[in-house]
């Protein structure tokens, strides 16, 4: 039993796991450009670009800062190359209405089936009678 445990320990120690722990050159990409600007009234702007083609930028502001409805807003975009070689571009807006992203890589819902559209139109044209209490 001791021999089995020692053999298992030696096998684990000798195993080549470098392919699991290896870092790609992407992890060490140099930053070519980086900008940051923060204003006193809640506005900001940042941008960066790396040598491997990744770039991003964002601007933001605080809307209605003196009211109960103050809201931080942001607009930005990012660009990178996916592992399959496709260039991905993302544009987004974030405000009091939520986060809205646009990009060709994002999934889109399928079209509404014709039968469902007809059923919705029928319901709109023939509303149910009001309930009597």
- Residue 71 is predicted with a pLDDT of 87
Q: Which residues contact 92 (CB under 8 A, 6 or more apart)?
A: 74, 75, 76, 77, 99, 100, 101, 102
- Residue 80 is predicted with a pLDDT of 94
- Residue 41 is predicted with a pLDDT of 84
- Residue 31 is predicted with a pLDDT of 93
- Residue 69 is predicted with a pLDDT of 81
Residue ranges of the chain with pLDDT lower than 70?
Answer: 4, 9, 12, 16-26
| Angstrom distance (rounded) from CA 96 to CA 92 | 14
- Give DSSP secondary structure letters for 45-85: EEEEEETTS-EEEEEEEEESTTSTT-EEEEEEEEEEE-TTS
**C-alpha distances in Å from residue 46, one per residue of 33, 34, 90, 91, 116:** 11, 8, 16, 15, 45
- Residue 64 is predicted with a pLDDT of 81
| Dihedral sign (CA 123, 125, 126, 131) | positive
């Amino acid at each position: 039993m001791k021999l089995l445990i020692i053999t298992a320990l030696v096998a684990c120690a000798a195993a080549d796991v470098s392919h699991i722990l290896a870092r790609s050159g992407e992890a060490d990409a140099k930053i070519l450009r980086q900008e940051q600007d923060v204003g006193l009234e809640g506005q900001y702007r940042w941008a960066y670009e790396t040598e491997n083609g990744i770039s991003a930028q964002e601007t933001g502001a605080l809307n209605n800062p003196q009211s109960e409805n103050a809201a931080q807003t942001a607009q930005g975009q990012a660009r990178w190359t996916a592992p399959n070689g496709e260039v991905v571009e993302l544009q987004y807006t974030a405000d009091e209405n939520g986060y809205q992203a646009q990009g060709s890589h994002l999934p889109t819902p399928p079209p509404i089936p014709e039968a469902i559209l007809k059923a919705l139109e029928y319901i709109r044209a023939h509303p149910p009678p009001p309930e009597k209490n």
